[in-house]
Amino acid sequence: MTVQAGRPSDRIGDERLGAAQAELVEMLRGLIRIRSVNPPEPAGGELEAAHYIAGILSDAGLNPQVVEPFEGRGSVHARLQGDGTGGEPLLLLAHLDVVPAPPEGWTHDPFGGDVADGYVYGRGAVDMKGTIAMQLAVVRLLAAEAREAGRDPAADPVPGLSRDVLITVTADEEAGGFGGAGWLVENRPEWLQAAGALTECGGVSVTAAGQRIYPIQVAEKGFAVYRVLVHGTSGHGSMPRPENAAVRAAEIIRRLAVPGRPRLTPVMEHFIGATADALPTEPGRLLRTIAHPDVRLSDAAIDTLCEPTYARAVRALLRDTISPNIIQAGVKYNVIPGEAELYVDCRVLPGTTEEQIRADIESRLGDLAEASDVDLVIFGAPVESAADTDLYRILETTIRAHDPDGSPVPGMVPFATDAKHTARLGIPTYGFSPLRLDPNELFLDRFHGVDERVGLDALRWGLPVLYDAVREFCGTASR
């Protein structure tokens, strides 16, 4: 299969593309102004966002549906028809909730949707209302094509579309998705069931050694959260004792926080090899050593090649990680605590089981294991989708067509997305929210960070990329 090369707007047409890009920016600003914060504060923001999206889809002539499985928490879905000759649908999957955004440190109102210095500012700009707006813009272009052919976009096939295109935007992703995508898997699987899904965190350029790399997410790490209850002996604070549960907990934290050894998974091996091939000789050589079993060599290579934020991400992608994130002990300043409670956030690579990471924790506890109870709080398995599907190949080809100097490569993210849920339905899910970024933009720092923002040019570039990828997978237009 080949993607039309040449100017990015060839398929859409310049005038129509310009209008769609402007509309994309306005939809994003509208979404940012809705406080769809998770945990819900104020209540009902997610439902309001779902209705806002439903309004945009209705306006395009579609017949969207909104569900509210929990009060104030809405997810929304619509379907564009293909002629059915191309197989199962393509799913555009997004989440409409955002993490909280205390205004301290922001130079713009996090819920203002300001446009300044070539960026749209606000919570959700990158995670992931920018992608929702891009997906909506693609769906609206397709619906407009149906209308222009005298068809009803809610009932008739879009000209040239051989598969259906689904758009499903969910609540609650930021807290695990159980009130969104997880609920849909159980109760509305037809909103998700597809030959493949495109969601957040991929197709975003990273510039390394002057070269634009586009990791397309085919994998994500799993998570295992444990509660560790540490037992000790209480007593009067005037007479310290080593069995103080807080002292034991401190030692346990120290042992848990030591980074583990690197382990190269097949996806990371592919990522490193493909990226190193795209780089000049010396950085390429260095990149091939980032997973060296000698941690000092691995660390030195990472620090030379990466900005600090990316260095943390790369380290996390090369090993199972353990982060002790909550500690509680004691009731009064002069009473030695007899118990301490820890919550430990483990992120596991594909290939690591819950039993294995638990065994790692228990061996790290060493002589303190006898004084501790380790209980699993929640587990989500790692996810890996094949990088040899037609859909994945189309994503790579489309990126190359729109940026002939860029290098798309398969990648992994260290955190969880709604792909955990679509995996339960066997749907290959790829992170594909195409953005061509300014080389100095520290994209990862914007996630859940202050001054979250996305570049107008990056969004404008991404829209025809996503459109072309959808068109290519779902049947090309006859125009």
Smaller CB separation from Zn ion, 164 or 200: 200
Residues 108-127 that bind Zn ion (CB under 5 A): 127
Smaller CB separation from Zn ion, 54 or 128: 128
Residues 262-301 that bind Zn ion (CB under 5 A): none
Residue type, 18: G
Verify binding: residue 418, Zn ion, rule CB under 5 A. no
- Kindly tell me the burial class for residue 296, based on how many C-beta atoms sit within 10 Å of its own C-beta (0-12, 13-18, 19 or more): exposed
Smaller CB separation from Zn ion, 220 or 320: 220
Instruction: Spell out the residues 6+ positions from residue 368 whose beta carbon is closer than 8 angstroms to its own.
Output: 230, 248, 251, 252, 255
Q: Which residue is nearest to Zn ion (CB)?
A: 127
The two structure tokens encoding residue 74: 């809405």
The two structure tokens encoding residue 165: 């295109």
Q: Count Cβ atoms below 10 Å from residue 464 Cβ, excluding itself.
A: 26
Phi, psi of 196 (to 5 degrees): -170, 160
Closest separation in Å from C-beta 202 to Zn ion: 12
Is-catalytic flag, 26? no
**21 Rama sector, left if φ>0, alpha if ψ -120 to 50, beta otherwise:** alpha
Smaller CB separation from Zn ion, 244 or 433: 433
Is-catalytic flag, 418? no
State how far the alpha carbon of 406 is from the alpha carbons of 11, 60, 177, 242, 459, in Å: 21, 34, 33, 58, 17
Binder to Zn ion among 57, 76, 92, 128 (CB under 5 A)? 128
Closest separation in Å from C-beta 127 to Zn ion: 4
Closest separation in Å from C-beta 203 to Zn ion: 14
Closest separation in Å from C-beta 218 to Zn ion: 17
Verify binding: residue 97, Zn ion, rule CB under 5 A. no
Smallest CA-to-CA distance from 350 within 429, 263, 265 is with 265
Verify binding: residue 349, Zn ion, rule CB under 5 A. no
Kindly name the residue from 46, 145, 164, 173 that is annotated as catalytic.
173
- Kindly tell me the burial class for residue 68, based on how many C-beta atoms sit within 10 Å of its own C-beta (0-12, 13-18, 19 or more): middle
Dist CA 160 CA 274 (whole Å): 34
Closest separation in Å from C-beta 200 to Zn ion: 5
Closest separation in Å from C-beta 135 to Zn ion: 13
Pick the piece of the chain touching Zn ion (CB under 5 A) from 128-136, 221-229, 239-247, 267-275: 128-136
DSSP 80-94: EB--S-S-S-EEEEE
The residue assigned the tokens 């990466």 is 306
Verify binding: residue 172, Zn ion, rule CB under 5 A. no
Smaller CB separation from Zn ion, 184 or 286: 184
Smaller CB separation from Zn ion, 145 or 200: 200
Footprint of Zn ion on this chain (CB under 5 A)? 127-128, 200
- Give catalytic residues, as residue numbers: 97, 173
